[in-house]
Amino acid sequence: MPAQRNKLTKEEIREIDRHVGGRLRYRRVTMDYSQTYIAERVGLSFQQFQKYEKGTNRISASKLHEFSKLLDVPVSFFFDEMPDYMKAATQATTPSITPHENPFDEPKVQEFVKAYRAIPDATVRRSIFLTVKAIARYNASAAVDDDNYQEDNSDISDAKEVA
């Protein structure tokens, strides 16, 4: 029986650090927080936090836990969508988004994010975020009969653009 390789190469470690840092950045941006805001909340300098996002410096387990609480995601979020060859366990569940799909490539998603970020009041943005999150959670738990479900976008297409 061949010996199993357990030790990661330096490049594999850097790749994982970059992935985790990228997921940290992704979540921070979707929550509309600045690097400075997050850094201050967890007791880091702006520069240190920036190095975490770039994957230049490795994030400790305790910092990752702090980030997960602050950004309202499980710690596993930072490892989601990791390419198969980087995963530690073969029992990992299939991600809901394949590596080749990017929801931000969709024009409607880009438009939504642009409109969301244009809202000047952080409290209003946070309320919208929590509302959308609650709706998504409700819809995920509700049973939908795919045969009888038909999305009605008439109110969206008829809406006038607010500028």
CATH code assigned at 61: 1.10.260.40
Residues 22 and 48 reside in one and the same domain: yes
Q: Is the pLDDT of residue 45 over 90?
A: yes
Do the beta carbons of residue 35 and residue 50 sit within 8 Å? yes
Residues 118 and 83 reside in one and the same domain: no
Assign 93 a pLDDT band (cuts: 50, 70, 90). low
Q: Note down the domain range covering 14.
A: 8-100
Residues 115 and 44 reside in one and the same domain: no
Q: Tally the domains of the chain.
A: 2
Mean pLDDT across 55-76: 92
- Of 87 and 95, more confident: 87
Q: Is the pLDDT of residue 60 over 90?
A: yes
Residues 13 and 91 reside in one and the same domain: yes
Q: Is the pLDDT of residue 161 over 60?
A: no
Sign of CA dihedral 147, 103, 57, 48: negative
In a domain, 153, yes or no: no
Percent with pLDDT over 90 in the chain: 33
Residues 64 and 126 reside in one and the same domain: no
Confidence (pTM): 0.51
- Of 90 and 112, more confident: 112
The Cα angle at residue 92 between residues 20 and 62, in degrees rounded to 5: 40
Residues 23 and 67 reside in one and the same domain: yes
Mean pLDDT across 112-120: 86
How much is the mean pLDDT over the chain?
77
Do the beta carbons of residue 35 and residue 17 sit within 8 Å? no
Residues 39 and 77 reside in one and the same domain: yes
The reported pLDDT for the residue numbered 9 is 81
In a domain, 130, yes or no: yes
Cα(21)–Cα(77) distance, rounded to whole angstroms?
11
- Total residue length of the chain: 163
